[in-house]
Amino acid sequence: MFDEFLRKAEELRSADERFAVAVVVRSEPPVSGKPGYKAIIRADGTMCGWIGGGCTQPLVIREALASLEDGRPRLIRISPEASAAHEQGITEYTMTCHSGGALDVFIEPVLPRPHLVIFGRSLVAQTLARLAAAIDYKVTVVTSADAGERFQTADAVVEQLEECGTSIGREAFIVVATQGEDDEEALEQAASLGARYTAFVASRTKAGKIFEYLGEKGVSEERLARIKAPAGLDIKATTPEEIAVSILAEMIQAKAGYEAAGLVESAETESAARRTGKESAVEVIETLGSGTLLPGALSESVPKTDASQQAPTGSMSEVTNSSHAGSLRSQEEKASRLQFREGGRGRDPICGMEVGTEHARHRSEYGSQTFYFCCARCKEKFDESPDRYAASSDR
């Protein structure tokens, strides 16, 4: 019987099915359940195994389903009379069978590995995939086929969500880290999944623009409101790797039952943050390199003039924490006007975000030049007045 129990448990685990294990740990005769008797309770309430008679089973199934809901084990005691002194950590029930007796049953939920679905192939996406795999998350990456080698620790790398092979339920974690490559399409798919945690690696400004665009396409406000942007806890992250850490920390917090706080803030809040120089790490990285900058790369992205105009060298931490916020913003404005293409990268002339030219879906030809955009919204704005934006862009 024990071999059968193990086979069933392994079968359910392999199928990523959640179930609870109930084990009799103590009994007082006369009861049919003896210490060591065990059973598996599936999410539909069916039981495999034996822990006791008709008075015991309904109570065990009820508590097992509750443990699958909250993810917590519990110890229940079924006896003819409640004990005089309540013992902490034990839930007591009255034995209704005429035979009497008592037994204690320990119930433990067995849950599938948390499932993380990452859209994109950015450095944030790559680091997050490695970190999540290290703490036993099931990782699925939705990206182009040529990026598969960057995600060797992932369980699956697919080009289309439909290729996942397993259903993506409410308990999944969704992170959109496309950073300029088909952001709208990825977000639209992510919003449709209805997962309890969905996050977008983007600045508040960019997220607001794309959310507005998706709203016009028919994505409901309720679904958009559930998307956390910028993604991750505010731990003053400054590099793509640190942003990945902040996202994983937020996922762990959400798994423990805490809702992700700080959805896309209002324009007024964003303006106030900019006035005080409190820009998020994602905003700085987007403006100066679309999540691909490494420490020390800031000064290489901005044309060098005299010493008073050069951005500080050193780590991104030193840059973002600099007291010369006004000088930094001036350098950012210059960087946002650049349309450099080294390494297959270009800058969106509307928002200044760096875009991969090879895979950019949104582009426009004007004046024998090609302009690349992070999203459809920016492209539409450019197409309305191309001469205005093309003239203000230094090539």
**Residues 78-97: tens digit of each pLDDT:** 888 766 667 788 888 887 77
**Claim to verify: residue 147 and residue 25 sit in the same structural domain:** no
The answer as to whether 276 is a domain residue is no
**Claim to verify: residue 320 and residue 348 sit in the same structural domain:** no
The answer as to whether 277 is a domain residue is no
Give the pLDDT confidence score for residue 210 in this predicted structure: 92
Across all residues in the chain, what is the average pLDDT? 76
**Claim to verify: residue 180 and residue 256 sit in the same structural domain:** yes
**Claim to verify: residue 90 and residue 180 sit in the same structural domain:** no
**Claim to verify: residue 159 and residue 232 sit in the same structural domain:** yes
**Claim to verify: residue 258 and residue 144 sit in the same structural domain:** yes
Strand 173-176, strand 197-200: pairing: parallel
In percent, how much of the chain has pLDDT > 70?
Answer: 73
- pTM of the predicted model, to two decimals? 0.61
The answer as to whether 208 is a domain residue is yes
The answer as to whether 286 is a domain residue is no
Give the pLDDT confidence score for residue 379 in this predicted structure: 83
Question: Is the distance from CB of 199 to CB of 231 less than 8 angstroms?
Answer: yes
The answer as to whether 287 is a domain residue is no
Residues with pLDDT less than 70, the chain: 1, 82-85, 98-99, 165-166, 258-345, 358-359, 391-395
Q: Quick one: CA dihedral 54, 58, 60, 61, positive or negative?
A: positive
The answer as to whether 35 is a domain residue is yes
**Claim to verify: residue 256 and residue 322 sit in the same structural domain:** no
Question: Is the distance from CB of 232 to CB of 173 less than 8 angstroms?
Answer: no
Residue 106: domain span = 2-110
Give the pLDDT confidence score for residue 386 in this predicted structure: 85
The answer as to whether 198 is a domain residue is yes
**Claim to verify: residue 140 and residue 243 sit in the same structural domain:** yes
Give the pLDDT confidence score for residue 83 in this predicted structure: 67
**Claim to verify: residue 319 and residue 347 sit in the same structural domain:** no
**Claim to verify: residue 167 and residue 53 sit in the same structural domain:** no
Domain edge (last residue) among 91, 110, 129: 110
Domain edge (last residue) among 328, 350, 371: 328
Kindly state the helix (H) or strand (E) to which residue 23 belongs, with its residue range: strand 19-28
Give the pLDDT confidence score for residue 1 in this predicted structure: 65
Give the pLDDT confidence score for residue 137 in this predicted structure: 93
**Neighbour-count burial for 115-149, b at 16+ CB within 10 Å, e otherwise:** bbbbbbbbbbbbbbbbbbbeeebbbbbbbeeebbe
Question: Is the distance from CB of 301 to CB of 353 less than 8 angstroms?
Answer: no
**Claim to verify: residue 240 and residue 140 sit in the same structural domain:** yes
3-class DSSP assignment, residue 158: strand
**Claim to verify: residue 215 and residue 263 sit in the same structural domain:** yes
